[in-house]
Structure 1
Amino acid sequence: MAEKEILPFGDPVLRKKAKPVEELTPKMLKILDDLVDTLYAEDGRAGLAAPQIGILRRMVVMDCGEGLIELINPEILESQDEQIGPEACLSYPGITGIVKRANYVKIKTLTRTGETMYLEGYDYLARCIQHEIDHLNGILFIDHVADGQLYREQTREKADLMQALKLSRK
């Protein structure tokens, strides 16, 4: 187990679609452990997806305030209603954007023991699940932010990452 470097905004890996985990080998379980170590080294912020540490596999770890959740090959089965609120990302330190998401999601995922699990999330957990699954598909939270709705966390001044976003899509 080890803390890994989180890829920053603009790294092309963040725009790639992650591949499914075909078999839960010791190597795959080590990736999960590394994700957990890296997440908690960053003060246990909401979530981290494998592409954020340079590994294109469909794996996510989250702690949205109620303990660790590990997702392997997650897929959204249902989503309902909507919420609008602030989002941030470990790959975009210091930046927050206002994002519209579903307020409820139901997902199907595997556990680290290979069992199929269904998970429902409301409110903040639903937001976290959608944010992290987006990472697995090469989608970033800033793709959902309307112009003028991106801010620096410390000062609340508007941030202009739209030009950088265009560059990261190439």
Structure 2
Amino acid sequence: MPYITLSEKLPGITGLLDYRKDTAQPIRELTQILLRGPSTLTEGERELIATVVSNGNGCAFCTAAHAAIADMLLDQPLAEQVCTDIQSAQVSDKMKALLTIARAVQQNGRNVTPEMVATAKAAGATEMELHDTVLIAALFSLYNRYVDGLASVTPSDPAFYQRLGVILKNKGYLPSENRYAEL
């Protein structure tokens, strides 16, 4: 049961963003830039970063939502692999290094070491990719605490996250008319 009154039709962060549209707008814009804007990382790779961080924070809603989107965008089920063991996941060495940095940020930003950064750079990560990985990790740590801190509803039906994934894949993160009509 959420700690504040939220729309029963909008679980997880969707209800929270609907509750305070004024604070939601800048958050949505930043998310759109980081996850859907121009980048040398694919949208699917950026969603994997969000998934790993959410999983590390124990946020079931965000983990399930972003795992669904990542797997859709990558056309293969990689989210569970990276959440289980980054080093054995079927992703590039660059992504392994960036996901390791994201996991460190999720725990504490000071956990990122010069060695982690050197490994990422040696694997081909650019400074922009390092920047965006850290910012995505920090942003999703905020989201995870927002969702869980207000006890937002977390659906247990995997089909819900598939429907949400399709919406976010096709519409991105900015608000739109009847955005969640298909939920």
Q: TM tier, shorter chain?
A: under 0.3
Normalized per residue, the structure richer in helix is 2
TM-score normalized by the length of structure 1: 0.25
TM-score, normalisation: structure 2: 0.24
From the two aligned structures, give the one with the greater strand fraction.
1
